[in-house]
A = this chain, B = another copy of it.
């Protein structure tokens, strides 16, 4: 394992020259922020945060995060206004406005993507006004503790997470943030220590680095149902791993098990998923023999952190409806760029006209159940008692085709994401089976669909 890690580190660790280049750009930008504050008479200052500030950036990462820290007493409006004025002054006309909790500016300079993010300089991290206010505290906590040796271990863990597809806390990914990787290394001290420990993790795993709580029971009661709880040492009320989905948690644990058993560079540098040609997509769909539906519509104009949760909520609403209507949903997924797509795969697009309705167990009065179904003109048979003693009616099913269920659901749009529902109200198209091949003229959709059809953990590709 050690040789593999050494080889990986060589490929991902920035050179002295690269580091100097980044430092130069970062320092210039911080200086520019401070200059702009002075010029504009704004009571704020620049601070470099994130991996660039901590030397935990992987060569392929080209991000610099600079926060503009304002005094706590300013109103939110003032912060947003002054913050944007400073950031725009620094970025010039290249700067693009983006929206998270606050608006911020992103720009490119010297080959780096620089985010200029206004925030409050809050003394007590448990009293922050917005999520971004926490970053300066994370910056101070980590930089104080991370030795150069630990930095290498963080690089390995981040690249490992990247390779297996679980890196990133954004809601599109729901994975492990860079900060989380740093905390894990601080806790387990080495990359090897992290993967060996994580290979034995169970859902509900708890890590409390700063010993903020008396015991694990207390923590589990506070953060129920989360696959991974890592108490933020900067704010013990926060689970730093709250973003990590069960799927990514499990993928990481499996990857660690597999890596410990048989270490390989493949975990860090996996093969790319193959993009299927339209002919191959067509053949694959035919081979699967399932009923694949693709709901396509225009993406609403919102950031990914808002869009993806809404897409997934809409996906779940459609899946639940289909399941309640009796269809077997095999798999589903969402995708977006300027267009959005919800993919739902059924074992069959058609169900028999007859549907069973089961009554209560014999210990429960069934008068209402029987009356209701006896009166129905849709009754085929019943009531009768099945082998385990339940009352059964066989009645006519309402929707025999999945497409009918889609159409009713898209008419009502109940439990859909708000902006997604608005976009769907304006129009959509349902593609079914090989019709979906048409959508592959969009190369990014084509890549998504190929990945869906040949889905495989990256290190097994």
Query: A residues within 8 Å of B by Cβ?
Result: 201-203, 227, 245-247, 249-251, 253-254, 257, 261, 284, 287-291, 330-331, 347-348, 350-354, 356, 362-363, 365-367, 370, 374, 380-391, 394, 396, 400, 453-457, 460
20 interchain pairs, CB-CB under 8 A: A246-B389, A247-B386, A247-B387, A250-B390, A253-B362, A254-B366, A287-B354, A287-B380, A288-B394, A289-B354, A291-B352, A330-B356, A347-B352, A348-B350, A348-B351, A370-B460, A381-B453, A383-B456, A383-B460, A384-B456
Given known A381-B454, A453-B381, contact A388–B352 (CB-CB < 8 A): no
Task: Establish whether residues A374 and B254, one from each chain, have CB atoms under 8 Å apart when the complex forms.
Answer: no
A123 to B24, CA, bound (A): 108
A353 to B283, CA, bound (A): 13
CB neighbours of A353 from chain B (8 A): 287-290
Task: Establish whether residues B362 and A250, one from each chain, have CB atoms under 8 Å apart when the complex forms.
Answer: yes
Task: Establish whether residues B288 and A455, one from each chain, have CB atoms under 8 Å apart when the complex forms.
Answer: no
Taking A254-B385, A284-B380 as given, write out 13 further A-B residue pairs in contact, using a Cβ cutoff of 8 Å, ordered by the A residue number.
Answer: A246-B388, A246-B389, A247-B389, A249-B389, A250-B362, A250-B385, A250-B390, A251-B385, A254-B362, A254-B391, A287-B396, A288-B380, A348-B350
A215 to B249, CA, bound (A): 52
CB neighbours of A367 from chain B (8 A): 261
Given known A257-B365, A288-B354, A289-B400, contact A382–B246 (CB-CB < 8 A): no
A288 to B386, CA, bound (A): 18
Q: Which residue of B lies closest to A246 (CB)?
A: B389
Min CB distance A131 to B, Å, is 25
Min CB distance A54 to B, Å, is 30
Task: Establish whether residues B374 and A460, one from each chain, have CB atoms under 8 Å apart when the complex forms.
Answer: yes
Min CB distance A308 to B, Å, is 14
CB neighbours of A400 from chain B (8 A): 289
Min CB distance A61 to B, Å, is 25
Min CB distance A244 to B, Å, is 11
Min CB distance A110 to B, Å, is 39
A284 to B353, CA, bound (A): 11
CB neighbours of A227 from chain B (8 A): 389
A376 to B195, CA, bound (A): 29
Task: Establish whether residues A385 and B457, one from each chain, have CB atoms under 8 Å apart when the complex forms.
Answer: yes
CB neighbours of A352 from chain B (8 A): 288-291, 330, 347-348
CB neighbours of A363 from chain B (8 A): 202
CB neighbours of A386 from chain B (8 A): 247, 331
Enumerate the 5 nearest inter-chain pairs by beta-carbon distance, A residue then B residue, closest first. Answer: A250-B389, A289-B353, A289-B352, A288-B354, A290-B352
A291 to B352, CA, bound (A): 8
Min CB distance A124 to B, Å, is 37
A203 to B383, CA, bound (A): 20
CB neighbours of A246 from chain B (8 A): 387-389
Q: Which residue of B lies closest to A389 (CB)?
A: B250
A245 to B353, CA, bound (A): 30
Task: Establish whether residues B287 and A457, one from each chain, have CB atoms under 8 Å apart when the complex forms.
Answer: no
Min CB distance A357 to B, Å, is 12
Which listed residue, B245, B351, B457, touches A384 by the CB 8 Å rule?
B457
